[in-house]
A = this chain, B = another copy of it.
Amino acid sequence: MNTEKPLTYLLGQTMNMVKLKLLSTFKDNSIELTLEHFIILHYLSEKEDLTQQDLANHFLRDKSIILRQINTLIDLRYIVRITDKDDKRKKNLILTKKGYDMLVTARQTAEKISAELLTGVTEEELIHFENVIQKIQHNTGHKNEGCNC
């Protein structure tokens, strides 16, 4: 299995272009979210009672980074942090209505951009693409928490 360009080259370059595109569209639509904030909100909307440690594991980031990002999302009133009733060390992160509304708006924009960037890509190709992405993620050896299997 050999690519003419390093995998990091392909992924990094593409990611960067997609990110720039999305952030500029966010700006055009007055959506004041960084990409990381958007992704955190998205993840929080999918799972209940996530803790900061959960996010740190999932996104492979230091927990102090997650903490500070959560802090700014709390300042924006997009989420709240409440102590877990069973384990008082843990803090559950809960999406607020305001946060959800912002997420919906941002997600609409993101989906529009996604669709735009995937024009010319057939359904079959997309399935292959996502399949490869998933295999790569699996091969990194980090346990996939999203599989629920």
Which A residues contact B (CB, under 8 angstroms)?
A: 1-3, 6-22, 35, 38-39, 42, 59-60, 107, 110-111, 113-121, 123-126, 128-133, 135-142
Contacts and interface: CB of A to CB of B under 8 A. Distances in A.
B136 A132 contact: no
B136 A125 contact: no
A14 B133 contact: yes
A126 B131 CA distance: 10
A7 B113 CA distance: 9
A61 to B, nearest CB: 8
Nearest to A120: B135
Contact of A2 (B10, B14, B59, B115): B115
A132 B129 CA distance: 7
A143 to B, nearest CB: 11
Given A7-B113, A8-B114, A11-B11, 15 more contacts: A1-B121, A3-B130, A6-B39, A7-B114, A10-B133, A12-B19, A12-B39, A17-B137, A20-B140, A21-B141, A120-B138, A121-B136, A128-B129, A128-B132, A129-B129
Nearest to A107: B6
A141 to B, nearest CB: 8
